[in-house]
């Protein structure tokens, strides 16, 4: 028996909820922007800019698999407006941290996304 556990929240409300919640799970000095994917109502785009001298900018694509779980895909990292080598240990560690924070944010929004 298949269960219907799909995302039913309005995408703009979802983006607003992510914009409110994501900063609470990130480091206080990091900045995040969230925007809707115009082609897919179950997908949002997350941009996280690290604070400090590194000034990295990370882009992630987050697609809701169901009302609770997001599939997070790392897209790109830039430093000072230029593509950065994502294979460095520092950047890999940051990517892993941000993916974990994005999943944490999705968990915090579960009450809203499962209605």
Higher pLDDT, 24 or 114: 24
pLDDT digits (tens, 9 = 90+) for 48-93: 999 776 789 999 999 999 887 899 999 999 998 899 999 999 999 9
Question: Rounded to an integer, what distance in angstroms lies between the CA atom of residue 115 and that of residue 111?
Answer: 7
Neighbours of 42 (CB within 10 A): 17
Instruction: Report all structural domains of the chain as residue ranges with CATH numbers, in order of start.
Output: 11-113 (3.30.310)
Residue 26 buriedness (CB in 10 A; 0-12 / 13-18 / 19+): buried
């Amino acid at each position: 028996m298949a269960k219907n556990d799909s995302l039913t929240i309005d995408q703009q409300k979802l983006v607003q909820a992510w914009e409110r919640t994501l900063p609470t799970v990130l480091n206080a000095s990091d900045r995040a922007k969230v925007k809707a994917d115009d082609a897919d109502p179950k997908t949002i785009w997350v941009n996280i800019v690290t604070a400090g001298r590194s000034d990295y900018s990370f882009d992630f694509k987050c697609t809701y698999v169901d009302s609770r779980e997001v599939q997070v895909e790392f897209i790109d990292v830039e430093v000072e407006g230029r593509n950065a080598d994502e294979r460095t240990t520092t950047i890999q560690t940051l990517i892993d941290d941000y993916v974990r924070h994005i999943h944490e944010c999705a968990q915090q929004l579960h009450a809203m996304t499962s209605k």
